[in-house]
Structure 1
Amino acid sequence: MGERKLLCIADDSPECRAAVYFGALRAASTDAKLIILRVVEPMDPGLWSAMGEAMRERLRLEALDDLQELSDVAWQAAGLAPDLVVQEGTLDHQIRAFIDATPSVKTLLLAAAAGRGGPGPLVAAAMRGGFGFGARAVAIMIVPAGLSDEELADLAT
């Protein structure tokens, strides 16, 4: 049996930090590898073809900076360095493509949002079962909003 990987989706939400913190502790306690995926998607997907290579590279470097901050969270939480991945395109398509291309990903980790807007689009889709996260089945773990690091650690181990 090969290495098991846990995939965490990075975005600009405050809950993302909690998901990475939880994911790092969970990966450490289950001898798995943590992957943090950031998807860069333009306001208009048709812009990718018109966008200059320099602008695309700038967006990619900004995404890598964001991922490095999350990598620091994982290191502080569990002393592990996650794999950092940046993909270009639409979020749902890139999640599916990454899961399909990476058979060692066994778990998708999503952070639930707090507030009136609901748990977030990916969590809502996962809960209603209308959004497939790839051609093969993976476990989906949803990290609740508003937990302290101590509460996250208790849930992760």
Structure 2
Amino acid sequence: MSRIRRSTEEGHRRKFLVVIDDTTECERALYFAARRAEHTAGGLVLLNILPPADFQHWMGVEQIMREEATEEARAVLERAADKIREFTHVEPECVIREGRPADEILALIDEDEDIAILVLAAATGSEGPGPLVSIFTTRRAAALSVPVTVVPGSLSHEELDALT
């Protein structure tokens, strides 16, 4: 169930949501969103999604594996936040979720009424724009309660600066 965005109300601010993953285009989405957040006095939410646990182990092994994955996700988010701090004064919120990426993105948008824009970047390879861009510009587009900005993965920092 989508909620009304509150990002324009007093005490709230518009947030840009970026999914931090291991794709090469992720850095473009991160750069664009951080610059837009800085130029518009907005916020930035960095989301890392752990794959759903589809294994059952005995004696706490599953819990240990989940904790290790969570620690790695924290490290990935902290590295992304450090990159942002190199060129902006934006202090991002870092969120870790577990599950299917599209479901977790939609759930976070629904829970945080200040998220106003989902920022994705298109891959530049011949295999297509990437799974999240494909999902949120086709099958799951109607489920979104915020617009999606798709950043061309081929743009340089200078070109992105001119757009932000």
**Is the TM-score greater than 0.5?**
yes
Matches within 5 A, 1:57-136: 57-128=67-138, 130-132=139-141, 134=143
- Alpha-carbon shift at residue 133 of structure 1 (Å): 7.3
1:7 & 1:144 partners in 2: Cα distance? 17
Cα deviation digits, residues 83-129 of structure 1 (max 9, x gap): 1111111111111110111111110011111111100111122223x
1:81 & 1:89 partners in 2: Cα distance? 26
Of the three residues 25, 34, 59, the one matched with 2:44 is 34
- Alpha-carbon shift at residue 77 of structure 1 (Å): 2.3
- Could you say which residue in structure 2 is the equivalent of 1:149? 157
Between stretches 55-64 and 67-76, larger displacement belongs to 67-76
Q: Which has the higher helix share?
A: 1
Extract unaligned runs of 5+ from structure 2. Answer: 1-8
Q: Is the 8 A contact 1:4 1:33 kept in 2?
A: yes
Cα deviation digits, residues 41-72 of structure 1 (max 9, x gap): 04xx432x546211101001101111111111
Count, aligned residues: 151
- Could you say which residue in structure 2 is the equivalent of 1:17? 27
1:69 & 1:16 partners in 2: Cα distance? 13
Kindly report the root-mean-square deviation, in angstroms, between the aligned alpha carbons of the 2 structures: 1.6
Q: Is the 8 A contact 2:102 2:135 kept in 1?
A: no
1:29 & 1:131 partners in 2: Cα distance? 29
Percent same amino acid at aligned positions?
35
Q: Given residue 113 of structure 1, which amino acid in structure 2 is its aligned partner?
A: A
TM-score normalised according to structure 1 size: 0.89
Larger-gyration structure (1/2): 2
Extract unaligned runs of 5+ from structure 1. Answer: none
1:71 & 1:112 partners in 2: Cα distance? 21
